[in-house]
C-alpha cells in the first residue's frame, strides 16, 4: 500500500530534550516536506526537500533541522525543543509532474513540549 508513515504519532517531552520524528514514504517520491499545523494559522511549511541531499527552508524553519540521506526518509529533528514547538506535525511527499501534483500527507505527529 502506497503511504507516508510518521513515528511517533504522539509525543510528550520536556524543554531541551532532543527528539527526532521520522518520516518514510514508499512511493519513490522525489519531493518531501514537513509542516506544522496550529489553530488559526493553518499549515506552515518548515522544510522541504527536492531530492536526496537537497533541502531548503520553508516559512518557519527556526528551531528545526532535517536531513535527506535516502530518498524514502526525511526525519525532522528538534535539537532543543521549546513549548512554542508544541504542535501537530505532518510529513508529506509528492512526485512532480505536468498534470496534478498530488502531495500525500502522513498521519501526523502530535507533539507537546512541557
Partner 1 sequence: GENVEQHPSTLSVQEGDSAVIKCTYSDSASNYFPWYKQELGKRPQLIIDIRSNVGEKKDQRIAVTLNKTAKHFSLHITETQPEDSAVYFCAASISGTASKLTFGTGTRLQVTL
94 binds partner 1 (CB under 8 A): yes
Nearer to partner 1, 70 or 101 (CB): 101
62 binds partner 1 (CB under 8 A): no
Shortest separation between residue 6's beta carbon and partner 1, angstroms: 10
Q: What angle do CA 73, 48, 86 make, to 5 degrees?
A: 85
- The most distant pair of C-alpha atoms in the chain lies apart, rounded to whole Å, by 45
Nearest Cα residue to 67 out of 56, 83, 82:
56
Q: With binding defined as CB under 8 A, does residue 1 bind partner 1? A: no
Q: Least distance to partner 1 from the beta carbon of 68, Å? A: 12
C-alpha cell at 20: 527526532
- Best CA proximity match to 49, nearest among 114, 94, 112, 85: 94
Q: How far is the CB of 19 from partner 1 (least distance, A)?
A: 21
Cβ pair 26, 3 in contact under 8 A: yes
- What residue ranges bind partner 1 (CB under 8 A)? 31, 33, 35, 40-45, 48, 50, 56, 58-59, 90, 92, 94, 96, 100-103, 105-108
Amino acid at each position: 500500500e502506497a503511504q507516508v508513515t510518521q513515528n511517533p504519532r504522539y509525543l510528550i517531552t520536556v524543554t531541551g530534550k532532543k527528539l527526532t520524528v521520522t518520516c518514510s514514504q514508499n512511493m519513490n517520491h522525489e519531493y518531501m516536506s514537513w509542516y506544522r499545523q496550529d489553530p488559526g494559522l493553518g499549515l506552515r511549511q518548515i522544510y522541504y526537500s527536492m531530492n536526496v541531499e537537497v533541502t531548503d527552508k520553508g516559512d518557519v524553519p527556526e528551531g528545526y533541522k532535517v536531513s535527506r540521506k535516502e530518498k524514502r526518509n526525511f526525519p525532522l529533528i528538534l535539537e532543543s525543543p521549546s513549548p512554542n514547538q508544541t504542535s501537530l506535525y505532518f510529513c508529506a511527499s509528492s512526485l512532480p509532474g505536468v498534470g496534478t501534483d498530488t502531495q500525500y500527507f502522513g498521519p501526523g505527529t502530535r507533539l507537546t513540549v512541557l
